[in-house]
Amino acid sequence: MSPQIIDGKAFAATVREQVKDYTHGLKQQHGITPGLAVVLVGDDPASQVYVRSKGKHTVEAGMNSYEHLLSADTSEAELLALIHQLNADPAVHGILVQLPLPPHLNEALVINAIDPSKDVDGFHISNVGLLATGQKAMVPCTPLGCLMMIREYCGILTGLNAVVAGRSHIVGKPMAQLLLAENCTVTVVHSQTRNLPDILRSADIVVAAVGKPLFVQADWIKPGATVIDVGINRVEQEDGTTRLVGDVDFESVKEVAGAITPVPGGVGPMTIACLLANTVTACCRLNALPEPGFLNPIT
């Protein structure tokens, strides 16, 4: 049986259209335009690409984009002053500080200075706690995008075995919380796990977020499982060129899985779509307006 290749690019385009429609409605009915502020410290080329892409999609969705590009030697006091200014600005509904920050800046201190209701990354300690206790939170964008795709392909998730590979704050841990909230039986495996292949073989749903190219093998996958690949790894090929691969050995795993995300074109596009969705959600909550429930599974 051939697997379903989950088209994250098309799925993300649908989510962005929904965001655009809702944004249009907010403008027409309430005179409010959602605004997203993105802060980049330093000149890391990969971060610059991400930030530009976020700005472009924000504008295309009809929202206001505010970019703050700061030099690599920005002090913690200067960065905190900017965050306080954005917290107080009524035109800004979402604030994202691009990570990683230069080493002289304390990441936790900076993230926790963001107003939690504007924390569209869902990284503030309050949002982490709210998600963990099943309360209304801002949910991190990548796991939110993964959950949307898993729901689409698996339907009701109650009772399914989900294995999350990776325990990062950005993906693994919040992903596990979201799947628990969907009544899955969740196991988190990581670099110190014993019998990792055996645990993966029990999974109806696999989310791979370990940052190791082509790590997950076909004989670790239960036939028919849904496999979500969060990895983005650039690997050098024999001819000296590079290509992007995920954490899953796509070519072999697709012969076993029921549904699988490709890299590129799977989870990646969903992350930015969910950032836009979170910005609309934050805007609605800040203005005490009904929020678009179809965009956010945790209400």
Q: Does position 119 bind ligand GUN by CB under 6 A?
A: no
The least distance separating ligand GUN from the CB of residue 204, rounded to whole angstroms, comes to: 26
Residue closest to 64 by CA, chosen among 77, 51, 55: 55
Residue identified by tokens 């055996």 is 198
Sorted by sequence, the CB contacts under 8 Å of residue 273 that are 6+ apart come out as: 11, 12, 13, 15, 16, 19, 57, 145
Show the tokens assigned to 148.
């949307």
User: Can you tell me the distance from the alpha carbon of 259 to that of 272, in angstroms, rounded to the nearest whole number?
Assistant: 22
Q: Find the part of the chain contacting ligand GUN (CB under 6 A) among 91-99, 181-189, 221-229, 262-270.
A: 91-99
Sorted by sequence, the CB contacts under 8 Å of residue 41 that are 6+ apart come out as: 70, 71, 72, 74, 79, 97, 98, 101, 102, 105
Q: Find the part of the chain contacting ligand GUN (CB under 6 A) among 1-9, 28-36, 90-98, 240-248.
A: 90-98
Positions 169 through 198 that interact with ligand GUN (CB under 6 A)? 170
Residue in 15, 95, 97, 164 binding ligand GUN, rule: CB under 6 A = 97
DSSP percent split of the chain into helix, strand, coil, nearest 5: 40, 15, 40
**Site pattern 47..86 for ligand GUN (x: CB under 6 A):** ----------------------------------------
Residue closest to 95 by CA, chosen among 63, 61, 113, 119: 119
Using the 8-state DSSP alphabet, how is residue 37 labeled?
E
Residue in 105, 141, 208, 274 binding ligand GUN, rule: CB under 6 A = 141
Residue in 18, 23, 58, 98 binding ligand GUN, rule: CB under 6 A = 98
Q: Does position 115 bind ligand GUN by CB under 6 A?
A: no
Cβ atoms of 136 and 183 within 8 Å: the answer is no
Between 154 and 170, name the residue whose CB sits nearer to ligand GUN. Answer: 170
Establish whether 54 is a catalytic residue. Answer: yes
Residue in 5, 70, 80, 99 binding ligand GUN, rule: CB under 6 A = 99
The least distance separating ligand GUN from the CB of residue 220, rounded to whole angstroms, comes to: 26
Q: Does position 273 bind ligand GUN by CB under 6 A?
A: no
The least distance separating ligand GUN from the CB of residue 42, rounded to whole angstroms, comes to: 12
Beta bridge partners of 194: none
Q: Assign 186 to helix, strand or coil.
A: strand
Contacting positions for ligand GUN (CB under 6 A): 96-99, 121, 141-142, 170
Q: Residues with catalytic annotation?
A: 54, 98, 121
